[in-house]
Amino acid sequence: MDETQGTEGGKKKSPLMLIVGVAALTSIGGGGGWFLGNMIAPAAPTDEHAATQGGAGAHGEGKEEGIPKIATEANGVVLLDPVTTNLAYPSDNWIRLEVALAFKGPPELPLAEEIHQDILAYMRTVSLQQIEGPRGFQYLRDDIQERVDLRSQGKVSKVLFRTMVIE
């Protein structure tokens, strides 16, 4: 009799109870995560909330909040439009390059546009093998800096690389 009771005496757990248990733990974990997330990083105020608090209203009155931009013409830095073109080889690879120019004196926008076009023309002659790795990127920076120095005749002190994406 003991042998039959040992095999038949164990209870079978219902799969429904397992599903209910997992669902309960998931909802408790999700609720706790939401609560903790709201405590750590509360939601940013909306425009209506900022207007009632004396911030920038719907008409753009008031000061801009946040970190001031470095790339401004007042600082002598001009952010060029992104350069997006295909490489010379392989021609199905594309590059997107964002650069800024630091002028020694007041920025000259027509000169900045000429430099933008010069960088675009140069990037069309570059192959992927030339710019691979850290050394290739350094050569690219040096080549672009040299072209900018020649074009600007010393008016641009530095070329600042913001992003470079190759696809």
Provide the CATH number for the domain formed by 73-166 in this structure.
3.30.479.30
* Distance of alpha carbon 63 from alpha carbon 52, whole angstroms: 15
Identify the pLDDT of residue 143: 95
Percent of the chain whose predicted confidence (pLDDT) is above 90:
52
Structure tokens at 83: 């350069």
Structure tokens at 99: 């650069």
Identify the pLDDT of residue 164: 92
Interval 64-92 mean pLDDT: 79
Rg (CA), the chain: 30
Identify the pLDDT of residue 40: 82
| Residue 163 near residue 98, CB atoms below 8 Å | yes
Identify the pLDDT of residue 24: 93
Q: Cβ neighbours of residue 12 under 8 Å, at least 6 residues apart?
A: none
| Residue 101 near residue 151, CB atoms below 8 Å | no
More confident of the two residues 125 and 5? 125
**Exposed, middle or buried, 127 (CB in 10 Å: 0-12/13-18/19+)?**
middle
Q: Which residue has the tokens 């952010």?
A: 79
| In the chain, domain spans | 14-66, 73-166
pTM of the model: 0.57
